């Protein structure tokens, strides 16, 4: 999953309701990795870093390191595909656009939890 922020800021992430370990990768506005944290399943501990513009969550032990560069490919003619990954890292499904991977009810729950987390 990729999170984008309009400007660099202090970003806090947690692993509540996440069932698998993840690498939480904090990236600055120059698209350089500034920190890699190991998120543990169902952990409410806040992982935070200043000057963050992007956060990428991938399966644990990804090998991403501080100093690596995130490379965005911006080709409007190329179809963008998001992959839904299984716990073992294999691709379960490709999302090309417009697909819904959670129900409307689950989306409302996620929004409510995000607002609650933002307020706390």
Phi then psi for residue 46, to 5 deg, are -80, 130
Place of tokens 């806090």: 12
The number of domains in the chain is: 1
pLDDT at 109: 77
Give the separation between CA 43 and CA 112, rounded to whole angstroms: 19
Q: Residue 48: beta bridge partners?
A: 12
The tens place of each residue's pLDDT in the chain, 120 residues long, gives 888 888 999 999 999 989 999 999 999 998 899 999 999 999 999 999 999 999 999 889 988 899 988 776 666 666 666 666 666 777 766 766 655 555 667 777 777 888 888 787
| Domain around 92 | 2-69+78-119
Give the separation between CA 23 and CA 15, rounded to whole angstroms: 11
Q: Give the residue from 38, 31, 23, 37 showing the smallest Cα distance to 4.
A: 31
CATH of the domain at 54: 2.60.120
């Amino acid at each position: 999953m990729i999170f984008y922020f309009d400007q660099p800021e202090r970003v806090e992430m947690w692993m509540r309701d996440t069932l698998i370990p993840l690498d939480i990768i904090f990236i600055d506005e120059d698209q350089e990795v500034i920190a890699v944290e190991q998120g543990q399943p169902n952990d409410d501990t806040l992982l935070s870093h200043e000057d963050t513009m992007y956060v990428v969550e991938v399966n644990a032990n990804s090998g991403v390191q501080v100093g690596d560069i995130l490379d965005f490919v911006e080709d409007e003619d190329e179809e963008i595909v998001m992959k839904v990954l299984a716990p073992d890292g294999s691709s379960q499904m490709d999302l090309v656009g417009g697909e819904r991977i959670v129900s409307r009810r689950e989306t409302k729950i996620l929004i409510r939890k995000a607002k609650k987390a933002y307020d706390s």
